[in-house]
Amino acid sequence: MGRKSVIGTLDAALADCVAGRSRIVWIEGAAGCGKSALADALVESAAEAGATVLSAVASPDERAVPLGVVRQLLHGEQLFALPRPAGGNGTPSWAEALRVFCTEVRELSLDAPVVVCIDDVQHADVESLHYVQYLARHARSAAVLVVLTGSAHAETLDAVFTTEVMRQPHFRRVRLSLLTADEAAAVLGGEADPLCTELHRISGGNPLLMRALAEERDHRPAPAEPFAPEPGGPYAQALTTCLHRTGPVALGMARALALLGEQGSVERAARLLEIDLPTARRAVAALEAAGLLKDARFPHPGATGAVLEDAGAVLRGEMHRRAAQVLREDAGPATAVAAHLLASADEGATAVPPVTPHEVEVLREAAEELLTRDDARGAARLLELALHACEEMGAGGTEQDRAQRAGLRLRMARLTARFDPTAAERQLTALLDPRSPDRPAPEQIQQLAGLLLTQGRVAEAEELASGTESPGASPLDTVLDSPAAVSERLLQSARLTDATLTPLARAVRSLVCSDHPERAVPWSRRLLEEAQRAEAPGWTALFATLYAEALLRLGDLRGARTYATAALEALPEKNGIFPCGPTAVLIRACTAMGQYTEASRLADRQVSPRLLATLPGLSYLRARGVYHLAVNQPHAALADFLETGRLLESWNIDRPAFLPWRTDAAEALLRLGEDRQAEQLVLQQLALPDARRPWVRGISLRLRAMTGEPKWRITTLGQAIDELHRSGDRLEAARAMAELGRALQADGAPAKGSAMIRTAWNLAKDTEATALCKEILPDAPLTPERTVPAPAEGETRTKLSSSEQRVATLAAQGLTNREISAKLYLTVSTVEQHLTRVYRKLQISSRGELPLGLERDHSAPLR
Q: What is the DSSP string of 751-791?
A: HHHHHHHHHHHHHHHHTT-HHHHHHH-TTS-SSPPP-SPPP
pLDDT value at 108 more than 70: yes
Which segments of 233-356 does DSSP mark as H helices, in order? 234-246, 248-260, 266-273, 277-289, 301-311, 313-329, 334-347
* Non-local CB neighbours of 755 within 8 Å, separated by 6+ positions: 741, 852
Please, which pLDDT band fits residue 186 given cuts at 50, 70 and 90?
Answer: confident
Per-residue DSSP letter, 27: E
Q: How far is CA 370 from the centre of its chain?
A: 13
CA-CA-CA-CA torsion sign (332, 333, 334, 338): negative
pLDDT value at 821 more than 50: yes
State the amino acid at position 810 in one-letter form: L
Could you report the per-residue pLDDT of 125-153, keeping only the tens digit for each? 998 999 999 998 888 889 999 999 988 77
Cα 368 to Cα 376: distance, rounded to the nearest angstrom: 9
Residue among 113, 116, 119, 115 nearest 39 (CA): 119
**Residue 169: half-sphere exposure toward Cβ, Cα within 13 Å:** 5
Could you report the per-residue pLDDT of 85-103, keeping only the tens digit for each? 555 555 557 788 888 889 9
Share of the chain above pLDDT 70, in %: 91
Cα 827 to Cα 832: distance, rounded to the nearest angstrom: 9
Q: What is the mean pLDDT of residues 552-560?
A: 93
CA-angle at 682, arms to 678 and 687, nearest 5°: 150
Could you report the per-residue pLDDT of 632-641, keeping only the tens digit for each? 999 999 999 9
Give the strand order in the sheet containing 171-175: 52-57, 114-119, 144-150, 23-28, 171-175
pLDDT value at 65 more than 50: yes
pLDDT value at 469 more than 80: no
Q: Residue 841 CB: number of other CB atoms within 10 A?
A: 16
CA-angle at 516, arms to 834 and 774, nearest 5°: 65
Cα 823 to Cα 810: distance, rounded to the nearest angstrom: 9
Cα 254 to Cα 248: distance, rounded to the nearest angstrom: 10
pLDDT value at 858 more than 50: no
Cα 552 to Cα 567: distance, rounded to the nearest angstrom: 14
Q: What is the mean pLDDT of residues 716-736?
A: 94
In this prediction, residue 550 carries a pLDDT of 95
Q: What is the mean pLDDT of residues 570-588?
A: 94
State the amino acid at position 446 in one-letter form: Q
In this prediction, residue 693 carries a pLDDT of 95
- Cβ–Cβ under 8 Å, residues 462 and 651: yes
- Most confidently modeled of 400-409, 434-443, 541-550? 541-550
Cα 173 to Cα 160: distance, rounded to the nearest angstrom: 17
- Most confidently modeled of 205-209, 334-338, 633-637? 633-637
- Cβ–Cβ under 8 Å, residues 204 and 290: yes
pLDDT value at 792 more than 60: no
Say whether 152 sits in a helix, a strand or coil: coil
Could you report the per-residue pLDDT of 380-391, keeping only the tens digit for each? 889 988 888 887
- Cβ–Cβ under 8 Å, residues 461 and 651: no
- Across 109-118, 468-477, 490-499, least confident range: 468-477
- What residues are paired with 114 via a beta bridge? 52, 144
The model scores a pTM over 0.85: no
- Cβ–Cβ under 8 Å, residues 759 and 740: no
- Across 92-96, 409-413, 673-677, 700-704, least confident range: 92-96
Cα 554 to Cα 703: distance, rounded to the nearest angstrom: 20
Q: Residue 398 CB: number of other CB atoms within 10 A?
A: 8
In this prediction, residue 852 carries a pLDDT of 59
Cα 728 to Cα 720: distance, rounded to the nearest angstrom: 12
Q: What is the mean pLDDT of residues 30-59?
A: 88
Average pLDDT in the chain: 86
State the amino acid at position 438 in one-letter form: D
Query: What are the structural domains of the chain?
Result: 3-177 (3.40.50.300), 228-433 (no CATH), 655-784 (1.25.40.10), 798-849 (1.10.10.10)
Residue among 508, 480, 582 nearest 538 (CA): 582
Could you report the per-residue pLDDT of 232-278, keeping only the tens digit for each? 899 999 999 989 888 899 999 999 999 999 999 999 999 999 999 99
Please, which pLDDT band fits residue 354 given cuts at 50, 70 and 90?
Answer: low
Q: How far is CA 520 from the centre of its chain?
A: 29
- What residues are paired with 56 via a beta bridge? 118
- Across 58-67, 153-162, 838-847, least confident range: 153-162
pLDDT value at 1 more than 70: no
Residue among 767, 634, 734 nearest 742 (CA): 734
- What residues are paired with 26 via a beta bridge? 148, 173
* Non-local CB neighbours of 439 within 8 Å, separated by 6+ positions: 402, 406, 431
In this prediction, residue 89 carries a pLDDT of 53
Cα 248 to Cα 244: distance, rounded to the nearest angstrom: 7
Residue among 496, 505, 504, 403 nearest 448 (CA): 403
- CA dist 169 → 25, 28, 138, 173 (Å): 11, 18, 12, 12
- Across 608-612, 663-667, 826-830, least confident range: 826-830
- Cβ–Cβ under 8 Å, residues 198 and 192: no
Cα 727 to Cα 517: distance, rounded to the nearest angstrom: 7
In this prediction, residue 857 carries a pLDDT of 44
- Phi then psi for 118, rounded to 5 degrees? -125, 115
Per-residue DSSP letter, 571: -
pLDDT value at 794 more than 70: no
Q: How far is CA 248 from the centre of its chain?
A: 37
C-alpha dihedral over 559, 564, 570, 573, to 10 degrees? -170
In this prediction, residue 793 carries a pLDDT of 38
Cα 742 to Cα 754: distance, rounded to the nearest angstrom: 8
**Residue 334: half-sphere exposure toward Cβ, Cα within 13 Å:** 15
Q: How far is CA 741 from the centre of its chain?
A: 56
Query: Of how many residues is the chain composed?
Result: 863
Cα 734 to Cα 775: distance, rounded to the nearest angstrom: 11
Query: Whole-angstrom distance between the N-terminal and C-terminal Cα of the chain?
Result: 75
pLDDT value at 585 more than 80: yes
pLDDT value at 399 more than 70: yes
- Cβ–Cβ under 8 Å, residues 221 and 210: no
Cα 54 to Cα 52: distance, rounded to the nearest angstrom: 7
Cis peptide before 226 (omega within 30 of 0): yes
pLDDT value at 374 more than 50: yes
C-alpha dihedral over 167, 169, 174, 175, to 10 degrees? 30
In this prediction, residue 795 carries a pLDDT of 39
- Across 359-373, 508-522, 796-810, least confident range: 796-810
- Cβ–Cβ under 8 Å, residues 546 and 517: no
State the amino acid at position 183 in one-letter form: E
Label the pairing between strands 23-28 and 144-150.
Answer: parallel
Q: What is the mean pLDDT of residues 613-628?
A: 96
**Residue 853: half-sphere exposure toward Cβ, Cα within 13 Å:** 15
Say whether 694 sits in a helix, a strand or coil: helix
Q: What is the DSSP string of 159-214?
A: HHHHHHHHTSTTEEEEEPPPPPHHHHHHHHTS---HHHHHHHHHHTT-HHHHHHHH
pLDDT value at 226 more than 90: no
Which segments of 513-579 does DSSP mark as H helices, in order? 520-533, 537-553, 557-570
Could you report the per-residue pLDDT of 152-176, keeping only the tens digit for each? 777 677 788 888 888 898 899 888 8
Q: What is the mean pLDDT of residues 750-757?
A: 91
Q: Residue 277 CB: number of other CB atoms within 10 A?
A: 12
pLDDT value at 284 more than 90: yes
**Residue 541: half-sphere exposure toward Cβ, Cα within 13 Å:** 24
pLDDT value at 511 more than 80: yes
